[in-house]
C-alpha cells in the first residue's frame, strides 16, 4: 500500500500548514514538520484551515533537518524547488517516498538542495513568478505521486444520484 510522506521545512504560515494537513488526511499521507515553525500548532488559523480533520492527521515533528534525517534513515526524499531542472511529473515517486517543501519566504536552503540535485523537482510557471502558494504546490505534487501509485487505497468513484424533476 502506498504511504506517501509530505515534509514541510520550517513552515511559516499556519493556514498553509492547516490546508496541507487536511490534504494529508484526505490522501492517507503522513505530515512531517521540521522546526522551527513560524506558529504554534494550537493557533486558530491552523485549526480553521485544517478544520475538524486535524485530529485525524498523522503528524511528526522534528527539532531540525538533521533530526529528520536521523529518524528517517534511507528515506527517498524529493525536494520541490523553483531551482530544479526536472519537472515534478518527470520524477518516479516510490510508494513510501518523502516529498519536501520549503518555508514560504525562502524555500528549502540551497545547501540542502545541492546535495540532492537529481531529487529536486519543480512546478512549471510562466515568466518571473516566484512560486505558487505552498498548500497548492503540495497538492499538485502529491496528487501526481498518488496518480503514479494508482491512487492506492483511495476511493476512486463517487455516487451521483440522479435528480428527478416533476412538472418543471
What residues are designated binding site for S-adenosyl-L-methionine?
Answer: 102, 123, 131
Contacting residues for 69 by C-beta, under 8 A, at least 6 apart: 75
The C-alpha cell of 83 is what?
Answer: 531551482
Q: Which residues are annotated as a binding site?
A: 102, 123, 131
**Block residue for cell numbers 531551482:** 83
Note whether 13 and 134 are within 8 A (CB). Answer: yes
Amino acid at each position: 500500500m502506498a504511504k506517501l510522506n509530505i515534509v514541510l521545512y520550517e513552515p511559516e504560515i499556519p493556514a498553509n500548514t492547516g490546508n496541507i494537513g487536511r490534504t494529508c488526511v484526505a490522501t492517507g499521507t503522513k505530515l512531517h514538520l521540521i522546526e522551527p515553525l513560524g506558529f504554534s500548532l494550537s493557533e486558530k488559523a491552523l485549526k480553521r484551515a485544517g478544520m475538524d480533520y486535524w485530529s485525524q492527521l498523522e503528524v511528526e515533528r522534528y527539532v531540525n533537518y538533521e533530526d529528520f534525517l536521523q529518524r528517517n534513515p534511507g528515506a527517498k526524499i524529493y525536494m520541490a524547488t523553483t531551482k530544479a531542472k526536472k519537472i515534478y511529473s518527470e520524477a518516479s515517486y516510490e510508494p513510501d517516498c518523502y516529498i519536501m517543501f520549503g518555508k514560504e519566504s525562502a524555500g528549502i536552503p540551497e545547501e540542502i538542495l545541492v546535495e540532492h540535485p537529481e531529487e529536486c523537482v519543480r512546478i512549471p510557471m510562466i515568466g518571473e513568478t516566484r512560486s505558487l502558494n505552498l498548500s497548492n504546490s503540495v497538492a499538485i505534487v502529491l496528487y501526481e505521486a498518488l496518480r503514479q501509485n494508482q491512487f492506492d487505497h483511495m476511493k476512486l468513484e463517487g455516487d451521483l444520484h440522479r435528480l428527478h424533476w416533476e412538472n418543471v
